[in-house]
Homo-oligomer: A and B are copies of this chain.
């Protein structure tokens, strides 16, 4: 096990009706004037918007608001939010939504406190030394941003998705009411589940040996997702299944599943080019890329695919031909993704084979290798894209 630090100071208020506590929580964590940040009209239709406003008013907390966050959140709205927050002397950002809204809120929170261009953080040109506190009311179980250090923003100038991370970006509180996810359609639900599972896989596929505790925690989250996802697809208002998935999404990405080990993240980076270019739902893009990554990588380095198969997918170990075990695990994962309605090819997500060289160029514009479990060069990543473009 490698040395690590772990600091996850988010206060989680989990369960039915917890959104009514938002005013008190903003107050507890020092907010006196709030930027309320959200996406489209769904929180207004559902009544959540009104409940949030009421809870803020009840505590006498003034707010300004900025809606309009889109999936794969854009730099343009972040600039707008930073300007608004400064003009209005806001000292707290409240994200009401899923990963895109939270990531956009984190970008605003850090950007307000920085004199330069907030994208410097995302381009690796500056470190985050200060940020406004961010609070969250989560409406989609997927990104794990409600408990993570991370934020991903699409730079509109270059159509590139870039990530930034800092302990200062961990939300100070996250309100997680599984009922708020009842209205997600099966596609969004399945894409969220896929994202959660790949957050774990990026950590599970590691060259660090002797990380038994995190291995077992990773498997715990994956097994939960295998069990619960079909249940919510079948019955969208299954509270307990929604609850298990929502909490699993946090556990998958606050890094309790990743400490002490090298992590991979190739699938995420290969996917990011798809969602930046075609505005694909990130989880659906991962459903296309991750199994291809697995099938490519298993041939080079099968080791970790054995416990993935035996522990997560209950494949019996074939001691005569362990590669069969490894491949059977990947096969079960692919079948699972198909069963929950996820795509597996470029054509299903509107991606085009002729763009592959462009995407590969972008990935390798600043680095020679992608991933860690197996270091992939340009040709490797081209092959992975081709595996799903050719079908």
A9 at the interface (CB under 8 A from B): yes
Q: With A212-B224, A213-B247 in contact, is A11–B5 under 8 Å at CB?
A: yes
A2 at the interface (CB under 8 A from B): yes
Partner of A4, one of B15, B228, B244, B259: B15
Partner of A243, one of B1, B248, B256: B1
Structural contact, A6 and B14, CB atoms closer than 8 A:
yes
Interface size class of chain A, counting residues whose CB lies under 8 Å from the partner chain: 35 or more
Complex formed: what's the CA distance from A137 to B8 in Å?
19
Structural contact, A213 and B251, CB atoms closer than 8 A:
yes
Copies of this chain per assembly: 2
A217 at the interface (CB under 8 A from B): yes
Within 8 A of B (CB), among A1-60: 1-18
Complex formed: what's the CA distance from A239 to B1 in Å?
8
Complex formed: what's the CA distance from A210 to B245 in Å?
11
Instruction: Kindly supply a per-residue 1/0 record for chain A positions 236-248, scoring 1 wherever the CB is within 8 Å of any chain B CB and 0 otherwise.
Output: 0001110110011
Within 8 A of B (CB), among A188-218: 209-214, 216-217
Complex formed: what's the CA distance from A241 to B223 in Å?
24
A221 at the interface (CB under 8 A from B): yes
Partner of A14, one of B5, B18, B216, B227: B5
Structural contact, B9 and A9, CB atoms closer than 8 A:
yes
A260 at the interface (CB under 8 A from B): yes
Partner of A247, one of B5, B16, B220, B259: B259
A219 at the interface (CB under 8 A from B): yes
Complex formed: what's the CA distance from A259 to B212 in Å?
22
The 4 A-B residue pairs with the shortest CB-CB distance in the complex, in nearest-first order: A3-B15, A9-B9, A210-B240, A216-B220
Q: A210-B244, A212-B228 are in contact. List 18 more A-B contacts (CB 8 A).
A: A1-B178, A1-B239, A1-B243, A3-B15, A4-B12, A5-B11, A6-B14, A7-B10, A7-B11, A7-B12, A210-B243, A213-B224, A213-B244, A216-B219, A216-B220, A216-B221, A243-B260, A256-B256
